[in-house]
Amino acid sequence: MGVSVTNFSRNGLSDWIIQRFSAVVLAAYSVFIIGYLLANPDLDYAQWSEFFSCTAVRVFSVLALLSTVAHAWIGMWTISTDYFKPVVLRFVFQLACFLAMFVYFVWGIEIIWGV
């Protein structure tokens, strides 16, 4: 049984578990944010800023960001291995996806924590 060098996870089961866990985290985060927006219909910048200055909200936001990156990586890896048969094309696509996700993750951390 061959193992792809660009696959960062161990097997299909771990990919499945990561995708399901990340989907649950993203659903919970969406409900949390939508609930906050519905509870505060006349939200202004000061309230929004105060809400995101709370450490628990920041940690939850980072967890949602990490879940997004993990979910996207597994999805894009699956697409690339299913549809890109030439190894070079697959590698270039996966590298571009990885770099974009890395940049978005670092940028998200910078936005969330104000680094």
Residue 92 falls within a domain, yes or no?
A: yes
Q: How confident is the model at residue 114 (pLDDT cuts 50, 70, 90)?
A: confident
Domain membership flag for residue 37: yes
Cα(78)–Cα(69) distance, rounded to whole angstroms? 14
Residue 79 maps to which CATH number? 1.20.1300.10
Q: Tell me if 108 is assigned to some domain.
A: yes
With respect to residue 91, please indicate whether it lies within any of the assigned structural domains. yes
Tens digit of each residue's pLDDT (9 = 90 or more) over 3-36: 554 455 567 888 889 999 999 999 999 999 999 9
The answer to whether position 39 is within a domain reads: yes
Number of domains in the chain: 1
The answer to the question of residue 47 being in a domain is: yes
Mean pLDDT of 48-62: 95
What residue numbers bound the domain in which 21 lies?
Answer: 12-113
> Residue 108 — very low, low, confident or very high, per pLDDT cuts 50/70/90?
very high
* Token digits of residue 62: 């980072």
Instruction: State residue 49's pLDDT score.
Output: 92
The total of other beta-carbon atoms located within 10 Å of residue 1's CB is 3
Please report the pLDDT score of residue 11 as a whole number: 77
Q: What is the mean pLDDT of residues 48-73?
A: 95
In a domain, 109, yes or no: yes
What pLDDT does 12 receive?
81
What DSSP assignment string belongs to 15-60?
Answer: HHHHHHHHHHHHHHHHHHHHHHHHH-TT--HHHHHHHHHSHHHHHH
Whole-angstrom Cα distance, residue 7 to residue 15? 10
**Which pLDDT tens digit goes with each residue over 67-81?**
999 999 999 999 999
Averaged pLDDT for residues 92-98: 96
**4 part of a folded domain:** no
